Structure 1
Amino acid sequence: MTSLRDGTARPISAETHGALARTAGVTAATTLTIYIVLLFVVPSNTSIAALGGLGRPAQLWGLFLLFWWALSRLQARTPGTLRSVPQPVRYALAAFVVIALVSFAAAMLRGQPADQVSPATTALLRLASWSGVLLVAMDGIRTYSDVAKLIRRLSLAGAAMAALGLVQFFTGQTWLDWIVNIPGLAFEGTDAAMRGSFTRASGTAIHPLEYGTAVVAAIPLAITTAVNKGFRTTPSRYAGWWWAPVAVILFASVVSVSRSALIGMVVAVIASLPAIPAAYRWLIGVGGGIIAIGVFAFVPGMFGTIMNLFVGASDDPSTQSRTAALARVPEFLSSSPLIGQGFGTFLPRYYIFDNAWVLLLVELGILGALCLAMMVLVAMGSAIWSSRHSPFADVRAMGRALVASLLTISVLLIFFDGLSFPISAGLLFLMIGLTASVRTVAAADEDLVGALRHVSRPEPAQPAASVLPQAKSAQREAVK
């Protein structure tokens, strides 16, 4: 915050808000966009050959972001009158990292088989990478413009992933084998998975479940972006095209031949409804119904396959495995219930938990699972706070959309070990960071309206509604 001539506080511009906002012409939004590209475009099972499992490009970029964030904290110069926006997410992340480090140390002191030390170390580096993404999003994204850019780009990334999945579904090929010809890269190519007579699309993900998570988590963002015409500050005749990503993602979700993806799609659509005006809710419902009917009409056998996914769920081996796994949790947790066996040390040879929350409970104990759950809940709380405190409808919509996306990812982590997959884990921490950035924007909006109200009409106080247009104009001009 800086001061007006009468001493009233007002938000400062992004350029002076912190070192991460703009460093030598490179913005946090740019670095996070690169992360999104690496996360969605580069296949998850691709790595730099010389680095092995540590060489996934998105993971390496996340480590760079952590270094950049730490360096910026040492170099940050802000005015003494800057009002710091409280970020509960920061403390939840710190608690989670501390538990992970304590659990790792305890596991090493107990002694581990040689083949468990490397996975545990790799798990800590993954956590460091995710933390870098979260911290840069939280402390570097401070303006409406940057949040809007990232939400738009996440929507487009989800649509691009869905489009590739549709190509794989209809052709029965992954279309990724050409990567093996790139020198210096290691690519673990696999054939397209099948369920019944249909191809299970995976996009650039390692597994169809990771693909489904990436696609359906983008639904709330895509819907909210379309309703708000791309979050553009000036009208555009191409605004209607933002509904195309929504249609592509919904279509891909229906033909995913994945029970969890269909559940996630329902959760995402329902959770998106509070973020959009009532008039658009009917559009989403009718449009989704038309897409579903079109799929069932033009893809013979799809309706029966989807029905069998749920009707025969009790006899499905994957469902039975998940149910049986719950009975084994006390056995694996008994030796260290509070801090677990050690992050990354519980290898598939012991047991396969198709549930990220359960696996985290075993590896990091009760405290670790509670810390991650608290981080997600606190992030949702920050987004809800922004939706209640910002006077601008588009910022409120952003907060609600992020809540819906986080809820969708959290539900889908019940169905597979999402934290072991690059896209689903990276997307979770990026979304958490964006909830904090929206909280910063909403706090600035609230302060700006209060400052303009006080300056424009000190006696009596000017109603908030009368200064909203002026405040919104000032806010949007500040980010140009």
Structure 2
Amino acid sequence: MSTVGQHAPVPAVEHAGLVRANGVGDATSLVTIYIVLLFGIPSNVTINGLGSLGRPALLWGLVLFAFWMLSRLQWRNVDVDRISQPVRIAFVVYLVIVLVSFSAAMLRGQPADQISPAMSWIVSLVSSAGVLLVILDGVKTMRDVTRLLRRIGIGVTLLAVLAFLQVLTAQYLLDFWGSVPGFTLGFGGVAERNGQIRASATATHPLELVTTLNAGLSICVAAALSRGFRSRGSGGSGFWWWVATAMLALVALTGLSRSAMIGFVVAVVAMFPAVPRRHRLSVLAGGVLLVGALIAVVPGLAGATTRLFTGVAEDGSTLSRTDALARLTEFMSGSPLIGVGSGTFLPRYYIFDNQWAITAIELGVLGVTAFAAIFATAMWSAWDARRRSTSPDVRLAAHALAASVLIIGLLFAFFDGLAFPIAGGLLFVLVGLCGAIRTVAVADAGHPVWGDQLEVFPAPPRAESGRPLAGAEPLDSTSHVVRSTTRRSKR
């Protein structure tokens, strides 16, 4: 019996997406605007009169939070069911601990110069919540997931190109923002280390840039392997994605940063198992050629890179981080359970350059555990999607998302990442996508589509021999679209 247009469940792997809310736009478009603002406008550019709260990406995150709340109040039936999301639970627990810690700190009383940063930190977290929740509840199809992944890949590639131009010219190239009416250009620019230029692109610091590029590297590799996550037969090519991957590697290897090197190595190791066996030798050869070309073209690069690791025992930044960790328990002793208060530990007390350590001080043991749970549940969600799905693109995208979240979590041990807009904003986008891709995998695993005449069956019809009947083979989920007007019952 044909069920087209009646009660056929819509495969999330290719469904066109949620209906537009009130004719304004869908979740994918709204999140895309956030990504453009996050990557495209320098992090040190703010709207006049708003201070640190005047960053356009932060303000758009608040718009997304309001959009999510209104959408929840006007919730309509959709084709793809909502499922339980461990990511959502972990984030809500983290948010509750942040608010409890903030309230306790305000009740204890704080110096005047700590109140404003603490409140700004809460507003920033609400903005991040808007991004995360819109993705979790609004991005429910593989088409939308891959659109966002492609746009993130394009964004990080453009950041790498800008950073490369900054290195070549030894100029910031973004000073014109200081003359744009209504905006203020804050501190930022290119730096120098061991005689080499360290670029920051639109980030506020080179460490923030390399964290963003290394997190995006796995996405670009996945896009290259899947030909841009294009459907089979669409004619897509992965060549330009390999070019993008090479550009990211180029900037990471010439950034003269231990964090960049460590993140790059982790990204390569994490994504290498996803490379088909027949292509692994070619990828290795291309990587070796790229490194060799860099050493030959950039004078002193090999020596400067070697000194980063051989001289680590005498390096000032390394010694500072080591000494800081030795004092961690001292700063936690006042309130070990919920911390001294979110956003109240200012650099004047101590500079840790470690987001995990700062979280432990500001939010205590409960807070740092909840923060770690966000990373853990995000990676688990991506791997659960990889385990459930039979679609190569879903499995590959899930692998890349898990690797990206792992890289950010690792590099947060080298700087206070949540204080940097691009690194913190990208984290919550990726965490949301980890939950979204799990929605896709669970929805399609529970409702397989069979038949070659757009018919849906609970299982493939089989002959007495147990084999599927001719013409009842499963359709390629990347090329099949079925419309539905009725919501499926909850499982």
Please indicate the TM-score interval, normalised by the length of the shorter structure: over 0.9
Task: Quickly say closer, same or farther: Cα 1:446–1:337, change in 2 above 3 A.
Answer: same
Q: Contact 2:405/2:431 (CA < 8 Å) preserved in 1?
A: yes
Q: Superposed, which structure 2 residues align to 1:94-109 within 5 Å? A: 94-109=92-107
Aligned equivalents of 2:376 and 2:278: distance in 1? 29
Matched, 1:251 2:250: yes
Cα distance per residue 1:74-114 (max 9 Å; x no partner)? 101116x9743221111101000000000000000000000
Q: Which moved more, 1:453-462 or 1:352-361?
A: 453-462
Task: Quickly say closer, same or farther: Cα 1:174–1:468, change in 2 above 3 A.
Answer: farther
Q: Superposed, which structure 2 residues align to 1:164-243 within 5 Å? A: 164-233=162-231, 234-236=233-235, 238-243=237-242
Matched, 1:67 2:66: yes
Aligned equivalents of 1:448 and 1:398: distance in 2? 21
Q: Which runs of 5+ in 1 are unaligned?
A: none
Q: Contact 1:17/1:78 (CA < 8 Å) preserved in 2?
A: no
Aligned-partner SS, 2:480: helix
Aligned equivalents of 2:467 and 2:35: distance in 1? 43
Aligned equivalents of 2:402 and 2:376: distance in 1? 9
Cα distance per residue 1:174-233 (max 9 Å; x no partner)? 111111110110101444210011100111100000011111110100000001001111
Equivalent of residue 90 in structure 1, options 88, 91, 94: 88
Task: Quickly say closer, same or farther: Cα 1:189–1:311, change in 2 above 3 A.
Answer: same
Q: Contact 1:453/1:463 (CA < 8 Å) preserved in 2?
A: no
Aligned-partner SS, 2:192: strand
| Amino acid of the structure 2 residue aligned with 1:473 | S
Q: CA deviation at 1:27?
A: 1.4
Q: Contact 1:217/1:408 (CA < 8 Å) preserved in 2?
A: yes
Task: Quickly say closer, same or farther: Cα 1:77–1:227, change in 2 above 3 A.
Answer: same
Equivalent of residue 469 in structure 1, options 454, 475, 485: 475
Aligned equivalents of 1:177 and 1:449: distance in 2? 54
Matched, 1:457 2:461: yes
Report the equivalent of 1:325.
324
Q: Contact 2:11/2:448 (CA < 8 Å) preserved in 1?
A: no
Matched, 1:293 2:292: yes
Report the equivalent of 1:346.
345
Task: Quickly say closer, same or farther: Cα 1:108–1:463, change in 2 above 3 A.
Answer: farther
| Amino acid of the structure 2 residue aligned with 1:110 | R
Aligned equivalents of 1:105 and 1:462: distance in 2? 63
Report the equivalent of 2:453.
none
Report the equivalent of 1:448.
447
Q: CA deviation at 1:477?
A: 8.3
Aligned-partner SS, 1:47: strand
Q: CA deviation at 1:445?
A: 2.1
Indicate the percent of aligned positions where both proteins have the same amino acid.
43
Report the equivalent of 1:431.
430
Report the equivalent of 1:150.
148
Aligned equivalents of 1:187 and 1:463: distance in 2? 65
Task: Quickly say closer, same or farther: Cα 1:148–1:393, change in 2 above 3 A.
Answer: same
Aligned-partner SS, 1:84: coil
Q: Which moved more, 1:64-73 or 1:232-241?
A: 232-241
Aligned equivalents of 1:352 and 1:476: distance in 2? 55
Aligned-partner SS, 2:475: helix
Aligned equivalents of 2:336 and 2:249: distance in 1? 41
Equivalent of residue 127 in structure 1, options 125, 131, 134: 125
Aligned equivalents of 1:265 and 1:16: distance in 2? 35
| Amino acid of the structure 2 residue aligned with 1:454 | P
Task: Quickly say closer, same or farther: Cα 1:295–1:471, change in 2 above 3 A.
Answer: closer
Q: CA deviation at 1:280?
A: 2.8
Q: CA deviation at 1:10?
A: 2.5
| Amino acid of the structure 1 residue aligned with 2:130 | G
Task: Quickly say closer, same or farther: Cα 1:468–1:16, change in 2 above 3 A.
Answer: closer
Aligned-partner SS, 1:58: helix
Report the equivalent of 1:139.
137
Give the TM-score taking structure 1 as reference length.
Answer: 0.93
| Amino acid of the structure 2 residue aligned with 1:276 | V
Task: Quickly say closer, same or farther: Cα 1:410–1:75, change in 2 above 3 A.
Answer: same
Aligned equivalents of 1:78 and 1:356: distance in 2? 40
Matched, 1:379 2:378: yes
Q: Contact 1:454/1:462 (CA < 8 Å) preserved in 2?
A: no
Aligned equivalents of 2:143 and 2:16: distance in 1? 16
Cα distance per residue 1:314-353 (max 9 Å; x no partner)? 1110000000001111111011101101110000000001
Report the equivalent of 2:77.
78
Report the equivalent of 2:113.
115
Give the TM-score taking structure 2 as reference length.
Answer: 0.91
Q: Superposed, which structure 2 residues align to 1:39-50 within 5 Å? A: 39-50=38-49
Aligned-partner SS, 2:46: strand
Cα distance per residue 1:139-172 (max 9 Å; x no partner)? 1111111111111111111111111111111211
Q: Contact 2:170/2:197 (CA < 8 Å) preserved in 1?
A: yes
Q: CA deviation at 1:467?
A: 3.6
Q: Contact 1:16/1:78 (CA < 8 Å) preserved in 2?
A: no
Aligned equivalents of 1:275 and 1:140: distance in 2? 28
**How many residue pairs were aligned?**
473
Report the equivalent of 2:361.
362
Q: Contact 2:218/2:271 (CA < 8 Å) preserved in 1?
A: yes
Aligned equivalents of 2:395 and 2:97: distance in 1? 33
Aligned equivalents of 1:462 and 1:419: distance in 2? 54
Report the equivalent of 2:273.
274
Q: CA deviation at 1:17?
A: 7.5
Task: Quickly say closer, same or farther: Cα 1:467–1:440, change in 2 above 3 A.
Answer: farther
Aligned-partner SS, 1:97: helix
Aligned-partner SS, 1:474: coil
Q: CA deviation at 1:24?
A: 1.0
